[in-house]
Chains A and B, each alone.
Chain A
Amino acid sequence: MIPYALGAGALLGALTQESPWALLGLLVGLWLPERVRWPALGAFGLVVLRLSTLGDPWADQIGRGVVLEGQLRDGFLQTPQGGVYVRHFPPLEDGVYRLQGTLVGPQAKRNPGGFDQGLWLKGLGVKAVLEVRQVLSQQPAPPTYRDRYRQALQARLSPEVAALATALTLGEREGLGQLYGAFQQAGLAHALALSGLNVGILVGAALLLLYPLGPRRYWVALPLAWAYVLLAGSSPSLFRASLMATVVLVALALGKGRSSLISGLMLALAVHLIWEPYGIFSLSFWLSYLAVLGIAVVLPVLPRPKGWWGYVGGVFALTLCAQIFLIPILLHHFNQLPLLSPIANLVVLPFLNLLVPLTFIKGLWSGFAGVLASPVELLSQLSIGLTRWLAEGPQLYWGQISPAGFALYYLGLIPLLLALYQQIAWRPALLLGSVALLSSLLPTQFDRAEIWQLDVGQGDASLIRLPDQTAVLVDGGRPYAADRVVRALHALGIRKLDLVVATHPDADHIAALPEVLARVPVGAVLAGPPQPQNPLDLALRGAAQTVGTPVMTALRGSSLRLGEARLTFLGPQGTEPDDNARSLVFVLEWRGRRALFTGDAPAPSEAAWPALPIHLLKVGHHGSKTSTGEGLLEKTRPQVALIGVGRNNYGHPSAEVLARLGRYGVEVHRTDREGAIRVQLW
């Protein structure tokens, strides 16, 4: 019981970073039976103590110009004061630097599916970002053992195999490029995170070689595991694996026999969180611990057939057990789950298991390089080929999951686990589990239309989503925004767009659309009259033609029915001389709720639109004073206004327009302030 108490106490202590309510854990702790009370409270206290030593070294310098000096590695500058993440374009090479710039707080997530820099850095215990203005001095870093190791490792290997070998032994995944995506899609990405696979093989091999030493060999193997952490650098999964290896080795050395997986995991959790309490914010921390938890909890109670099928079944069961607690996390973050992953693990993992010790030895001494190059090359090519092939397999696609959804998933598992442990019968367990399932499906029966104004920097991208899964994208922003838009679509569970509306051929509206068309299946593109002189319009139409998506023209009076919704176009006439004035302007109507999308249409065009009440207004031209005239607000009376705007030199949105919206009592939301905005059209 003591390991559980330690783990739970440490976890609760770490949760005090998230909410002070976790301090109530102290009260629960005092109420615990005496045998586990003090371990639990001790772990809790140690984590809180560690947290108090970790303060924020940069707190009083945020927003100020600074000159920092230190060693830069993988984008992080280590200074005597503490670590800081460095932003510079292009990224700086590793080395010793003196950098001048501004310290800023990390960026929070701006869009659904967007990169959450704040959370990422929090999980690494880094509190500030240095936006570099000037590199004052730069020296190459003195070559470390790691560099020499990498050189010997990569010698005589083809580039792709060298990248795979580096990822497998040192955990450096940057070189893999698109190959990493293939590993993800095949369900093998876990093999590229340094973890129990590496530590286990390393320690196991050492124990075999050291067999003549008797019980002392456990003490000798122990430093090996930690030497590996020093070589490869500490990641949550490697740290966890080494801690668990330590628990196992110490237990064996003391003659206590083999410790159970779960108590090893709990002890590792306690030590991990006492050392790095910020780990609870790290995705890889949770992936690593929950995968092992699944294996520790579910695998022992599963039936296991004998013989050859036992092996196949064992690999399948292992893969499923590792994933059982991860499924919602994987779907939430990666929006897809490879359905072939048990097969991939059955077929490819044995090769990778062979590769790990081979590549590890190859890097140790350049003398091995020649001998080991060809087997490593052969095994790697085989694994890569198989992985690429398996990556084509079917995927389960899913959007992001709400906190309630997560809770319901884990709640739904509880009766099933209890039934596996024969605490309750299967029939009530399935009944309770299906209540959880139905409860999670309940809200989907009341889906409403919603409108997202995505944050694409200076530019516009709106997404209309109807309850019948119809999705319409209106503009997409500048080219760099295409990736954000596609990620947001995937995060919202949208894998195809029924319609893309390109309001007018300006870069901050449609330049991202060709890439979106190339990456997401689109039913049809709706654009204004063709502009043969405009390269952006040509690029959009070219991209549509390449993927075989029809381009239709909408003009004033056009109307389009999409399930329960109707798009009615108020403009343009098509003959306006100015690009902005030719913006497609339309009203979306769904069950009596209306939203007006205006592109960049200027005030004179607004005058030509009919007087009709609306609920939601996508403010024209990013809030420029040339749009959103008094007349428009008078005749439409919107309740909510969305402004797609980012850092710009035009003065968008203008104070004049904001004041006007304020006078009409409109609730204003801006993407530069809030990131992506969601409005339920209900």
Chain B
Amino acid sequence: MAAVRVDKGIHRALSLRAGLTGLYLACVLGLGLYSLWPRLFPRFTPISEAQGLSATPVPSSSPTPPLAPTSAHPVSLNRATLEELEALPGIGPALARRIIEGRPYTSVDDLQRVRGIGERTLQRLRPLVTP
């Protein structure tokens, strides 16, 4: 009799423990899922690359994007170093050297004298440089 009662006691303790462990795991995983939930369902339908951005030719003044570091101030055509000139969009080492050789400049428009700088490059450089 006694052995059976002890057995029952152990059994009850074990099932209580299993129940608590189950409750714990349910709580923990539930919380994880609760935070995950809003990330699972997309709100916007994705647009394929073909629509818009890449398909629409941007009527840009230059084929290469004019993304280049500039110093804190506009670059001075008459005083800038070779490196500063090379940092300008669309200006390579050769053009930079020719710009230096073409000094002095009285206005930005004088840049057109430099071989290799056309109307379009000039338009792009205009806001970035001073004489």
Q: How far is the CA of A404 from the CA of B35 in the complex (A)?
A: 7
- Which of A408, A532, A594 contacts B31 (CB under 8 A)? A408
Contacting A432 at CB < 8 Å: which of B25, B31, B68, B124?
A: B25
Residues of chain A from 530 to 563 with CB closer than 8 A to chain B in the complex: 530, 532, 538, 541-542, 544-545, 550-560
Would A439 and B56 be within 8 Å (CB), given that A545-B72, A553-B67, A682-B44 are in contact?
no
Among A404, A443, A446, A559, contact of B67 (Cβ-Cβ < 8 Å): A559
Cα A435 to Cα B30 in complex, Å, equals: 11
C-alpha gap A532/B131 in the complex (Å): 13
Asked if A442 is at the interface (CB within 8 A of a chain B CB), the reply is: yes
A489 close to B (CB within 8 Å): no
Complex contact A553–B128 (CB within 8 A): yes
How far, in angstroms, from A404 to B74 measured CA to CA in the complex? 51
B43-A442 in contact (CB<8A): no
A513-536: CB near B (< 8 Å → 1, else 0) gives: 000000000001000011010000
Q: Establish whether residues A681 and B44, one from each chain, have CB atoms under 8 Å apart when the complex forms.
A: yes
B40 within 8 A of A: yes
Chain A proximity of B67: nearest CB distance (Å): 4
Given A538-B72, A553-B66, A592-B47: A587 and B53 interface contact (C-beta under 8 Å)? yes
Interface size class of A (residues with CB under 8 A): 35 or more
Contact (A552, B68) CB under 8 Å given A530-B128, A615-B44: yes
Q: Would B52 and A613 count as touching, CB distance under 8 A?
A: yes
Tell me, in angstroms, the Cα distance from A616 to B70 when the chains sit together: 31
The one of B28, B47, B70, B127 in contact with A435, judged by C-beta atoms closer than 8 angstroms, is: B28
Distance, CA A541 to CA B69, complexed state (A): 11
Q: Which of A632-668 contact B (CB under 8 A)?
A: 639
Q: How many A-B residue pairs have CB under 8 A?
A: 152
Q: Is A414 an interface residue (CB 8 A)?
A: yes
- Residue picked from A529, A545, A550, most chain B C-beta under 10 Å: A529
| Contact residues in B for A411 (Cβ distance below 8 Å) | 24, 27-28, 31
User: Chain B residues near A559 (CB, 8 Å)?
Assistant: 65, 67
Query: B61 touching A573 by the CB < 8 A rule?
Result: yes
13 contacts between A and B (CB under 8 A): A402-B35, A529-B127, A532-B73, A538-B73, A553-B70, A559-B65, A570-B58, A574-B124, A575-B127, A592-B48, A611-B52, A612-B52, A682-B43
Top 7 A-B pairs, shortest CB-CB distance: A592-B46, A612-B52, A557-B60, A529-B127, A439-B32, A541-B72, A610-B56
Residues of chain A touching chain B, judged by Cβ–Cβ distance below 8 Å, are 402, 404-405, 407-408, 411-412, 414-415, 428, 432, 435-436, 438-440, 442-443, 446-448, 524, 529-530, 532, 538, 541-542, 544-545, 550-560, 568-570, 573-575, 587, 589, 591-594, 610-613, 615-616, 639, 680-682
A560-B67, A592-B46, A594-B53 provided; 14 other pairs, C-beta below 8 A?
A402-B35, A404-B32, A404-B35, A408-B28, A432-B25, A440-B32, A443-B39, A529-B128, A530-B128, A545-B71, A553-B128, A556-B60, A612-B56, A613-B52
